[in-house]
Structure 1
């Protein structure tokens, strides 16, 4: 199974970064209020970036790197993926 790093844009304009094996299922958890505490009450949530990483260790390293980026850097990642993301 392939792990992925993802970015969500919350309804209040903030960004949330996480990792998951199944990004679509994890997004559904977030939307149902059963995901990360940070995303609860911040809907609607939109998946704006996803990057396949392979192993969990690689995904955790990439998540750490993304979380250290500035907001502008994260938005640039999201723009780089705009129109190229599939719903999976």
Structure 2
């Protein structure tokens, strides 16, 4: 089965990936064949994974989680995503001071 996974690196940063074989991929990250990012931050340890029906779904989830900040990733890893993730999500058209919605930018012509 395909997986989306998160490993924690020795410097406490997170690396998000997708693979067919999560155990083999984590081994590669710790030896030869891992990503350039993890090669400089060994050892890594698996802290989270999700199983998917297709590699395309796993890859899509990988890209979604890669776009998240550390707090959202930590909430997912800690299993508190359902309660915390909505509050960590960025409000697209909300100004931080007033809390009122602003109009979307005009279309580019």
Q: Which bracket does the TM-score occupy, shorter chain normalised?
A: 0.7 to 0.9
**Highest RCO, 1 vs 2 (Cα 8 Å, sep ≥ 6):** 1
Question: What is the TM-score normalised by the length of structure 1?
Answer: 0.85
Question: What is the TM-score normalised by the length of structure 2?
Answer: 0.69
Instruction: Tell me which protein shows more strand as a share of its residues.
Output: 1
Matches within 5 A, 1:1-88: 2-80=1-79
1:9–1:47 contact (8 Å) kept in structure 2: yes
Structure 1, unpaired ranges of 5+: 82-88
Structure 2, unpaired ranges of 5+: 81-109
What is the CA RMSD across the aligned residues, in angstroms? Answer: 1.3
Secondary structure at the counterpart of residue 8 of structure 1: strand
Q: What's the CA shift string for 1:29-80, capped at 9, x where partnerless?
A: 1100321111003112110000001101101110111111111000111111
Count how many residue pairs are aligned between Structure 1 and Structure 2: 80
Q: For residues 62 and 7 of structure 2, what CA distance do their matches in structure 1 show?
A: 13
Bigger-Rg structure (1/2): 2
